[in-house]
Structure 1
């Protein structure tokens, strides 16, 4: 059994981006949904890595959309973006707490921009259960880049094979496995609990 469980945040402990939040973002940007999401995701990685600020990111999105937005509109977009990613799965929070209480170490690796990271730090005390919190905006690497996983290994002072990685995206799990971490593709609470508590479950799909 792996000594430590390294959890993803969004799609595992936190909910995926809400549909109502997505609608608010598109409405605030005042453009069509199809062009909005293409630019939103195409420019997201540097924002997640902390290479640009929220204001810089949204100005880049506006330029890609061939529109202009003022500082007030950018502030509303940042707030709407945070709100769209803010829902948490309480059952998964409980699993994290139970895992930590059992004596296992728990850690977190998330692709997340600074503004959203601050929101989680201010509103979710359960983050204190994690021995290591690796926010992409703070470590300069984002999944599925190998250095994101290696950063966690160094911070935990563990070999990859002693860390079980749990994520809802296959490409992220595969990247972790490529450096030697056992991985679990998250599809729900029951399977995640089994992967964490049963040694031979980690590599099952």
Structure 2
């Protein structure tokens, strides 16, 4: 590693779009097919109801019942279980290069943390499968902190949990609106593009 201007900053990472991939087209197709009906209507409702699920205000079963109601249909217990499983699978792919970077940063003594919009079922799914989560000093999952980015409370929760002044935290996310909200909350922010670009910015060889 070489010196850079954020060497003494806590590195606060987003997960999806940074360390883990967004939904694949195959995963999205499987999920929409499991739900049935027109895909365009499905995705509109899927996202419109996602925020309370991400915040942990409702569980997966309630989320999918709401989706079904708005779509004018009903999902029984078996269908809901299939939808939850397909949803988890669609968000399960990780970026091996980014995981290796997290491990390298942690091994070098850098403080790393996570701030992710994620429902409880998906958070538990990752915890069961990915030991690299143990490198994070704090895992601020929206479903457990009651705030979802870009809400100011998400960033406040993270810097309070880290016991670190916000200006000493570098937040890394792939969405400009989340970066701008972090900056408004007093954090440093960097828009994620690629692992190679981030390594250069952090001075990682």
Please tell me the root mean square deviation across aligned C-alpha atoms, in Å.
0.9
What TM-score, normalized by structure 2, do the two folds share?
0.95
Q: Is the 8 A contact 1:111 1:137 kept in 2?
A: yes
Distance 2:114 2:124 in 1: 15
Of residues 184, 187, 193 in structure 1, which corresponds to 2:193? 187
Q: Following TM superposition, by how much is the alpha carbon of 1:104 offset from its aligned partner in structure 2, in angstroms? A: 1.1
2:3 is aligned to: none
Moved over 2 A (4+): 194-198
2:32 is aligned to: 26
Q: Is the 8 A contact 1:184 1:195 kept in 2?
A: no
2:48 is aligned to: 42
1:73 to 2:79 alignment? yes
Structure 2 SS opposite 1:103: coil
In the alignment, structure 2 segments of 5+ residues that lack a partner are 1-5
Of residues 132, 140, 163 in structure 1, which corresponds to 2:138? 132
Structure 1 SS opposite 2:19: coil
What TM-score, normalized by structure 1, do the two folds share?
0.95
Q: Following TM superposition, by how much is the alpha carbon of 1:179 offset from its aligned partner in structure 2, in angstroms? A: 1.1
Of residues 90, 108, 111 in structure 2, which corresponds to 1:105? 111
In the alignment, structure 1 segments of 5+ residues that lack a partner are 199-205
